[in-house]
Every structure is written in structure tokens, then in C-alpha cells.
Structure 1
Amino acid sequence: MKLLRRRGAVSLDDRLAALEEAADLADGRLEAAAVAGARAVVSRAGARRSLSVDHTVAALAGATGSGKSSLFNLLSGTALATVGVTRPTTSTAQAALWEGAGSGPLLDWLEIPNRHEVDGTAGGGPEGAEGMAGLVLLDLPDHDSIELAHRLEVDRLARLVDLLVWVLDPQKYADAAVHDRYLAPLARHRDVTVVVLNQIDRLSPEAAERCLADLRRLLDADGLTGVPVLGVSARTGAGVAELRALLESRVADRRSWADRLAADAGAAADLLARASAGAGAGDSGDRAGAPRAAEPVKAPETSADALAGPLTSALSQAAGVPLVVAAVAKAHRHRSVAATGWPVTRWIRRFRPDPLRRLRLGAASAPEGDAVGRTSIPAATTVQRSQTDTAVRDAAAAASAGLPEPWAAAVRHAARSRADELEDGLDRAVATTSLGASRRPVWWRVAGAAQWLVLAATAAGALWLLGLFAMDYLRLPEPPVPTAGEAPWPTVLLLGGVLTGIVLALLSRAVAWLGGRRRARKAARALRASVEQVARALVLEPVTEELSRHRRFTEAVSEARDEVRPGRG
């Protein structure tokens, strides 16, 4: 059943849906009793709405000797309830029905076996019966009964009925037991609560006025401002007409059941709010007349980018990023020398290990879905692990600043929830990051080709000189030898080639050193970005999700409490 939304208020359906959402969001974070209480309200509301909404269940509750059974008999025009002064008087709840057709499932749900249909001549005559049509009036056991089962039955039905009529007497109307245990917790239920001061016939009119005024003061202190307070006498009938008229108006309105469920939703949301603020489920704070239940604290927005910086720095150290960055620079110089060094000596470079391959890095990133082996980067030291733990705790502390302790603890737990995956995640991030080490710069090919040309010139000069030496050794005529100035060309080719090759090798080393620094900087940026992704996925995303959960919880609790903001309706 979809209830109409009152102007400026949240509909009952929306409030109950918000309460259910708040309970789900609070599960595992807040005290179990508060969460269970909210879910019980949602379940109870679903059951009550599926039953007869054309009937209003009102219950007369009170202490032994308050006269509630006499009042029940007077209103119903019967002698169903046993009247007496011994304890207990009323042992089981019983119901009087005015036109109770269709109320059977509702009474079955309430577990009321004793039922009596009020005929047209009872309860004020035919007109009275017609005005009360749809009323189910219960006479509850005494709330102060010496029998525990009776007190438990009062507690159970007090949570289920649509309208509560508390019958007090002049001797015990100020009893702390009834105020603290029953009336004060009903501050949310002002619209479905009526208080009756019975036996006013035993007082003078002035004393009755004083008692009613004092009772009004006590109810206001309980948070029950505006609750009707009626003075009646079940013996003389004084004030009973006013009580019957009030019941008739509530029955005619047919909204008591919805108001009761709305009040239950608000009370359950208050309980969640107190649990969220760190108060126990059983801690209702001051009396209900005191300021309202604690508001759920809304944490200040904390940017994930602001948290990522220090955390990424600590994780980078633990992942060995500085070691990898240094290896990138060394590997570039190593490979540059191997590609551009003097061909006569560059082969020696092959006997030296490649710094990146030694770490099992430098290959192209594995295709998505392919297994990536672990690197050979040394494991994080104790100091690095301590720095990482501190950074994670600091990130959690910064993110949860301003949150109440239950939610702050949940944020801290979320930050550590995937800590076991950090080491493998960081190693995989480093292993799959493209370091640009496999790319061969164009100048390598140019310098390498130049070295081979120089080597060819050197070899040509050496062979030329060797031929001239052989001809001289064999006493053959010496052929003419061209010169470059005073120096013969064979000598120029040999010596010039050697010198040029050495100079090219030295220049290549200088360029390789600069290129190594540039590649190291690029690798550092790429590695930091990869580490930051790990930090976000394994630390910050769980934290952000927990903060989002808390924000949704506060919004749901506010809606369940019918806290309508400007512009909302």
C-alpha cells in the first residue's frame, strides 16, 4: 500500500525504505541491537500494512489498581474484564471489537485469543457503536504485575498496537517505573499516545486539577508535549464521554496505524543515530524530553588525491621504485655502450649483466590476462614496511577525521582490509609497468653504423699497410702511396680510425648518460603512477567506499527520521 505524502513530509513508504537501507548500511559497523531493532520495525511494518487498515487497535495499559479494566468494561459495555484489587488482576490481554469483521488476521498477528464482538446496544448505545466501528480495544495485563510473563506480554503488545491509552491513578501517576520504562521512550509516539488519569472521583475538583497539571508537567518532561491528558472516573462515568469521543475521532481518521509505524521508524532511526554517535543501543541519553537523539555526524569531504600522495611515496619505497629507477638509468647506459661502443671492445660488455634483466624487468608489458612472474626486487625492509603501515594508518586517520568512532573504526579497517595483497600488487605493478627500456633510440643505429664505418676504414688502413710491408719484405717494387699532406693514407686510415672510434665511443657514453637520466625520470613517473593505482585500488577505494557508505547512512537516517530539508517535499 502506497501512502500519500503529506505536504512537506516524507511518505511512510519512503521512511521505511530509508530505514531498511540505513540498517543494511550499518550492518557490521554499528551495534547489532540497533541494526536488529531497525530491521524489526521494517518487518513489523510490512506485516501490519498487509493486515486490515480499516481497524484501529487501541490498548488500555496501566498498573494494578489503576482501574483500566473497569474503564475497559465501561467503554465496551461489557463485564469482560475482571475487576479487583489483588495482584495480578488482568492476566491475559483480551479484545473488544466494534464491527470487527475482517479483523481476525490482525488479532491472530497480535496473538489475542480472547475476543468479544460489541453489539449495537453496548458501548454507548447504537450511536456509540456506530462511532466506534472499526475499533479493536485491548485490555492489557498489568505492567507492574508480579508475574514476569504478564510484563513481557505488555512489552510485546505495546510495540504492536496502533494507539496506546495509558491509565494512571492519583496514587501512582508519578511513579518513575511507568515514566522511565514506558512513557519517556514514547516521545516519538506522541500522535498515538493518550494518557488518562482515572479515579478523579476520589479527589476534590481542586485536587484533581492539581494532579492533572502535575501529570501534564511530568509528561512534558518525558517529551510527550501535546499528548491528550484526560481526567476520568470509571466509577461515576465522568470524563468517559470525552475519552470515547477521542477514540471515535482516531478510529474515524484511520491513520493511527500509519502514525504508529512512522513513529516506530523515527524511533529506530534515532537508535541508529545514537549508535552511530558511539552511544550504546540501550543508552537513550537523558529523558525523552531532553534534546533530540544525536545527529549522525557527516564527515568532511576528503579528496582521494590528497590522501594518495604520502601513501604513494611510502608504497614506492616499499616496492623498490628507487632501485628500479636507478636500474633503468644503468641499463640504458649499459645497452648504449653495447650498441654504440668501439666494435673491437664492445663485445666485452656482453659479459656484464644487464641491470634490468637482473631484476627480471625491462620486457614489454605482458598482454592482459597473461601471467606475470615475480620480479627479483629485494623484499621490503622492516623500516619500509613500518613506513608503509604508518602511511596507511595516516591515510585512514585523515579520511575518517570528524567521524564518530564506530565509523572511524570501519574506515581504519577498510584501509587495512586488503593489506595482504599489497606486496603482490606492488610487485605486479612494477613488473607490468612499461619502462621504455626495450625501445632502441635512432642515434644508436647512427652511432653504431658510424663505428662500423670507422672500423672498416681502420681495417682498410691496416690491410693497406700490411700489403706494403709484404711487398717490401719480398723486395718487390713499391707502388705509389697517396698522401694526405705529409702522412700516407694507409697510416691516416689506421690511426684516424682508431682515434675516431674511441672519440665516438666517448661521445656515445656521454649521450647515453644523459639519455639514462631522461629515461629514469620517465620510468619514475610511470612507476609512481602504477604504484598510485595500487594504492587507490587496495587502500583508498575501500576507504572511499566506506565513507560513501557513511554518507548514504546519514542521508537514509535523516529520511527515516522525517527530517525534511528546505525545497524538499
Structure 2
Amino acid sequence: MSRPLPERLKSLDEAVELSRGRSSDAVVDRADGVVRRAGQRVAFSGNHTVVALAGATGSGKSTSFNAISGTEFAPTGVRRPTTSQTMAVAWGTELPGELLDWLDVPRRHLVPARRSAFENLVLLDLPDHDSTEHEHRIAVDRLVPLVDMLIWVVDPQKYADAALHDRYLKPLAGYAGVMIVVLNQSDLLRPDELTAAMTDLRGLLDAEGLGKARLMAMSALDGTGVPELREVLARTVADKKAVSARIAADVSAAAAALGDELGAVTPSLDRVRRGPLVEALADAAGVPIAVEGVREAWKLRGGQATGWPFVSWVAKLRPDPLRALRLDQSDRKALTPTAISRTSLPGASAVQRARLDRGLRELVDATSSGLPRGWAAAVRDTARGREALLLDRLDTAIAGADLALDRGTGWLAVVRALQWVLMAGVLAGVLWTLFMMFAPALGLIGMPTVYWWGWPAQFVLLVGGVLAGLVLAGLSRVGVALGARAKANRAERTLLAAIGGVTDAELLRPVQEELDRHRRAVEAVKRAR
């Protein structure tokens, strides 16, 4: 079932807004003009029906105008062209001034009519469409899209004129339902000639897509066919459907042209390409360097915490990899809420940028395949236009990622405490030994010798503390290495998730929004048609 005209206009307006900047400006502006003209036409005078008589020089258009209107307002004679300005005759109690101003009709006449079959009819006499005067043709071209119904007056000699058919009738095939073609001067033809001419003209119209256009024969001079044409106009005025029929035809034509620009299918975003693209972005953003920094930082910090205290201080002389990359969590937490986190990761190399460029190109090509040129360009600009900002957003995402280096450190504290206990034992053994060695010489009372497991206690404290500390440090080093691997794997997953979030927000989501825009435009055009 056909949708209501207001709904179709609303859908066409939606399609225009969605297509602007992506489809042809000429097609979009034409559709936008249809929406605007429809609103203006109804606002000016929705009760009036505007019918225009158009024809070539010598077709008897002005004579036909007088015969149909029952007036002598249109000048007739041998002078060509006889109609230099558009003229209007309106039936009713007053002239529809705003409507005629909008149509820009300078010559106006009112036929007082109340309860007349022609009440609220506005009949226009257009200049000859084949006039040698350029402004006459411009006036015809301007008014043809504005009137509600068109009556083309042709004569037996030029009814197949290419200027009429190619310039007006063929392009207006979509308006055949609000068009009448009148073969004038039928009195000049014998009955068989008239039949042949009407058959030939009907065939021409049908071949040009004007099968719905009404074809009539008339003689403006002797009045043949005039009552029948007046009856058609009277019914048109009474039905009050000419305005909506003309607007509906405008909407259909504009929607069809816009639909040709859009195509019928919207491609889908290939999510399979997300993985390689995220990997390329991660590589360009320095994720492998950050992951290796996490591994080395955990080893360094774990070694400092669990190593033998007598030598572990040497590790403090080595620079911390995460602090060098500005990825240290303690430093990040010390930032003020308004500070912007930045890393010191190196910029993308030429190889990394080439890989990223290839990933973006493959995404754009796969996504825009089948789209019209303007829409494909919009997808490309959406994806490639953010490239400069993209690397900055990736760096910020890496700087803000929680690498969890402050968690899982409980066992390190336990080992550290044990190392200090063992170091205290070693110091006690050293001091005990020294005291036993030098006390007699200093005249001090010596301590009794204590044996543990058959060995002097101070020797057990000294040697046992050193050996236990070294063994504990060695075992802890294995645990630190395993922890470093786990932390690096977790950091890689965390950073890839952060990169994936930026990829979705800065690339895939805008591209998907562009595809959704195209899909909504296609659907709006379908509703408008």
C-alpha cells in the first residue's frame, strides 16, 4: 500500500539530510527543493489547483486558453509568439495573491465565481516553449516544476517535434498522471487523418513512458472537444487531488534519482579484519616494547626484593625500564587528576606505519566495496582522517592502562623479610666470632662456646645465614622469572584490550556509523518512493 504523502515527504527529507555531502549535490538539492516546494505550495494555497497550458509557437495555445476559460484575455493573431509573459486567470471570490507571487505570474485576472465548477482553479497561459526569446523558455522551465497539472497543446504538424518530446515530455514521464496532451486544430483533419494522428501520438507517448497521460483532441476555433476538456478540469478541481498528485510525483522522481545515487545494498563491516588491525596498531603504538618493559621491570624489582641483601643493592643502580618509558604505576598514580598521561615509547617506524597503512586500506576497501563513490569516500575519510589523532589516543590508552605491577607482591615481602632475618643471623655470627677472637686480648670475659649440630653456633649463624640467603635468592629468582612472564602476558592482554577499545571508538564505530547512515538513507528513500 502507498504511504501517506506527509510520511513520504518526511522520509525524503530524512534521506536528503543523510545523503548531503555524500551523494551528488545536484540530486540532493533537487530532492531538497521538492520538500521545500511542497511545504510552500500547501502553505500558500492548498485549496487552489494550478493548471498550466504549454505549447509550441503556432499550436493555438492562446486560442485554446480563451476557449477553455471562456475569456478573451489571451491575445491571439498572426504575430509570433503571441504570449510573451505568463498570464493567470483565477476563478473565485478573490485572487490567490500569495500563490501567484510564489509562481511569479505578473499578469492576473479574476473571474468572479461562486459555486462554479471552476471555483479555486488557476489557469496559466505559458509562453511558447520553442520561442526564440530566451527569457520565454526560462519562464516555461521555471513554472513546469511548480504547477499542479500540465496541458500540452500540440498541433497536427508538430506533435512529434523532438524539442517538445526530448526537452519536456520524456523527462516528465513520471508526471504522466497529472498531464494532458491535447491535439489542437482537429478541424483541419479529416476523420481518418485525425484517427491516424491520435494513434501515432498515443504510440509516441506510450513509448516515452507517458502511458498514464490523457490524450484528447480539440479544436479551439470551432469548440470541438472543449467541453470535454473543461469537464476534465472541473473534475480535477472538485477532486482536490491534483496538488497532492503532483507533489507525490515530485517525491517519486526525486526519491528515484536519490535511490540511483545510493544503490540498494549497504555493505557490512568485516569484523574479521579487526584482529590484524588491532595488532598493527599495537605494534605501531609500541605495545611490544611496553610488554618487554613490564617483563624486565618485574625481574629488576623482584631481584631487588628477594636478592641477597649484601649484593642486591647493586641492582638499584640499574634504571627501571617502566620509569624510563613513563609507564610506572606509582608515577601514574601520583599524577594530578587534570594531568594528561603520556609515555616515552618511541614513535612508529616506517615499517610499522606501512603495516598500519595496509591494515587501514584493507579495512576501507572491504567496507566500502559496492558503495557509491561519494559514500565510499566518506568511509575512507572517516577511517583515514583520524590517523594523526589515532596514535595519540593509542599512547594515552597505553599510559592509562593498569598493568597490575602493584599486585601479587605479597610473597616478595615474605622473602624479603626472611632475607633480612638471615642477614641478621650472618651479622650476629660475624660479631660473635670477632668477639671470641679479640675478647681475651682486650681483657674481656669470653663467652662460652656453644655448639649446634656439632658446629660452633657463631659458625652456623655465619655460614648457614650466607648459604640460606643465597639458596633463597636463587629459588626466588626462578619465581621472579615465572612472575615476570605472567605479568608480561597479562600486560600484553591489557594493552591489546586498550588498543582494541581505541580501535573500536576511533575507527570501527565511526565507520559503522557511516554504514548505518547509508542504510538509513536507503530505507528512507524506499519509504519515500
The CA RMSD measured in Å over matched residues stands at 2.0
Aligned twin of 2:39: 46
What letter is aligned with 2:480?
A
**Which of 347, 351, 356 is equivalent to 2:317?**
351
Question: How far apart are residue 552 of structure 1 and its match?
Answer: 1.4
Structure 1 residue matching 2:171: 3-state secondary structure:
helix
Aligned twin of 1:109: 102
**Which of 109, 112, 121 is equivalent to 1:135?**
121
The reply to whether residue 390 of structure 1 matches residue 383 of structure 2 is no
Aligned twin of 2:266: 299
Give me the whole-angstrom Cα distance separating, in 1, the residues matched to 2:104 and 2:340.
65
The reply to whether residue 145 of structure 1 matches residue 138 of structure 2 is no
Question: How far apart are residue 119 of structure 1 and its match?
Answer: 5.4
Give me the whole-angstrom Cα distance separating, in 1, the residues matched to 2:174 and 2:313.
88
Give me the whole-angstrom Cα distance separating, in 2, the residues matched to 1:436 and 1:119.
90
**Which of 91, 96, 120 is equivalent to 1:98?**
91
Question: How far apart are residue 488 of structure 1 and its match?
Answer: 2.1
Give me the whole-angstrom Cα distance separating, in 1, the residues matched to 2:10 and 2:517.
16
Question: How far apart are residue 515 of structure 1 and its match?
Answer: 0.5
Cα pair 1:65 1:84 within 8 Å, conserved? no
Cα pair 2:94 2:110 within 8 Å, conserved? no
Question: How far apart are residue 74 of structure 1 and its match?
Answer: 0.5
1:317-376 CA distance string (max 9 Å, x none)? 010000000110110010001111111111111100001001111225557952224211
Cα pair 1:297 1:404 within 8 Å, conserved? no
Give me the whole-angstrom Cα distance separating, in 1, the residues matched to 2:336 and 2:280.
27
Aligned twin of 1:279: none
Question: How far apart are residue 401 of structure 1 and its match?
Answer: 2.4
Aligned twin of 2:5: 12
Give me the whole-angstrom Cα distance separating, in 2, the residues matched to 1:107 and 1:261.
18
In structure 2, runs of 5+ residues without a counterpart are: none
Give me the whole-angstrom Cα distance separating, in 1, the residues matched to 2:244 and 2:77.
35
Aligned twin of 1:567: none
Aligned twin of 1:231: 217
Structure 1 residue matching 2:396: 3-state secondary structure:
helix
Aligned twin of 1:34: 27
Question: How far apart are residue 511 of structure 1 and its match?
Answer: 0.5
Question: How far apart are residue 309 of structure 1 and its match?
Answer: 1.7
Structure 2 residue matching 1:95: 3-state secondary structure:
strand
439-448 or 396-405, larger mean C-alpha shift:
396-405
Structure 2 residue matching 1:259: 3-state secondary structure:
helix
The reply to whether residue 485 of structure 1 matches residue 423 of structure 2 is no
1:165-191 CA distance string (max 9 Å, x none)? 111112211122211211112122122
Give me the whole-angstrom Cα distance separating, in 2, the residues matched to 1:361 and 1:249.
83
Cα pair 1:372 1:432 within 8 Å, conserved? no
Q: Please give the residue correspondences for 1:280-359 in structure 2 after superposition, counting only pairs within 5 Å.
A: 296-302=263-269, 305-359=271-325
CA gap 1:476/1:149 in 2 versus in 1, 3 angstroms: closer
Q: Please give the residue correspondences for 1:511-550 in structure 2 after superposition, counting only pairs within 5 Å.
A: 511-550=479-518
What letter is aligned with 1:507?
L
Give me the whole-angstrom Cα distance separating, in 2, the residues matched to 1:430 and 1:404.
37
The reply to whether residue 506 of structure 1 matches residue 499 of structure 2 is no
What letter is aligned with 1:220?
D
Question: How far apart are residue 378 of structure 1 and its match?
Answer: 0.8
Cα pair 2:85 2:106 within 8 Å, conserved? no
The reply to whether residue 242 of structure 1 matches residue 224 of structure 2 is no
Structure 1 residue matching 2:301: 3-state secondary structure:
helix
Give me the whole-angstrom Cα distance separating, in 2, the residues matched to 1:273 and 1:84.
47
503-512 or 203-212, larger mean C-alpha shift:
203-212
Q: TM-score, normalised by structure 1?
A: 0.89
Give me the whole-angstrom Cα distance separating, in 2, the residues matched to 1:165 and 1:57.
11
The reply to whether residue 205 of structure 1 matches residue 200 of structure 2 is no
CA gap 1:306/1:445 in 2 versus in 1, 3 angstroms: same
Give me the whole-angstrom Cα distance separating, in 2, the residues matched to 1:142 and 1:31.
32
472-481 or 356-365, larger mean C-alpha shift:
472-481
Give me the whole-angstrom Cα distance separating, in 2, the residues matched to 1:273 and 1:360.
53
Give me the whole-angstrom Cα distance separating, in 2, the residues matched to 1:313 and 1:93.
69
Give me the whole-angstrom Cα distance separating, in 1, the residues matched to 2:160 and 2:410.
97
Aligned twin of 1:74: 67
What letter is aligned with 2:34?
V
The reply to whether residue 178 of structure 1 matches residue 134 of structure 2 is no
Question: How far apart are residue 445 of structure 1 and its match?
Answer: 0.8
361-370 or 425-434, larger mean C-alpha shift:
361-370
In structure 1, runs of 5+ residues without a counterpart are: 1-7, 121-125, 277-295, 562-569
Q: Please give the residue correspondences for 1:350-499 in structure 2 after superposition, counting only pairs within 5 Å.
A: 350-363=316-329, 365=332, 369-439=337-407, 441-471=409-439, 473=441, 479-499=447-467
Length, aligned pairs only: 527
Aligned twin of 1:190: 176
1:97-122 CA distance string (max 9 Å, x none)? 222525222112211121222357xx
Question: How far apart are residue 221 of structure 1 and its match?
Answer: 2.0
The reply to whether residue 251 of structure 1 matches residue 237 of structure 2 is yes
Give me the whole-angstrom Cα distance separating, in 1, the residues matched to 2:444 and 2:168.
132
Give me the whole-angstrom Cα distance separating, in 2, the residues matched to 1:555 and 1:84.
54
1:27-72 CA distance string (max 9 Å, x none)? 1112211122122112111111112222111000011111111111
Cα pair 1:100 1:136 within 8 Å, conserved? no
Question: How far apart are residue 476 of structure 1 and its match?
Answer: 7.6
Question: How far apart are residue 12 of structure 1 and its match?
Answer: 1.7
What letter is aligned with 2:147?
V
**Which of 58, 64, 74 is equivalent to 1:65?**
58
1:524-557 CA distance string (max 9 Å, x none)? 1111111112212222222122111111111111
517-526 or 228-237, larger mean C-alpha shift:
228-237
Give me the whole-angstrom Cα distance separating, in 1, the residues matched to 2:93 and 2:121.
8
Give me the whole-angstrom Cα distance separating, in 2, the residues matched to 1:112 and 1:331.
85
Structure 2 residue matching 1:398: 3-state secondary structure:
helix
Structure 2 residue matching 1:131: 3-state secondary structure:
coil
160-169 or 461-470, larger mean C-alpha shift:
461-470
157-166 or 217-226, larger mean C-alpha shift:
217-226
Cα pair 1:362 1:434 within 8 Å, conserved? no
Give me the whole-angstrom Cα distance separating, in 2, the residues matched to 1:162 and 1:545.
39
Give me the whole-angstrom Cα distance separating, in 2, the residues matched to 1:369 and 1:136.
72
Percent of pairs with identical residues: 48
Give me the whole-angstrom Cα distance separating, in 1, the residues matched to 2:337 and 2:124.
68
Aligned twin of 1:123: none
Cα pair 1:87 1:146 within 8 Å, conserved? no
Give me the whole-angstrom Cα distance separating, in 1, the residues matched to 2:490 and 2:445.
64
Structure 2 residue matching 1:173: 3-state secondary structure:
coil
Aligned twin of 1:565: none
1:402-453 CA distance string (max 9 Å, x none)? 2222211111111122222112111111111111123361101110011111
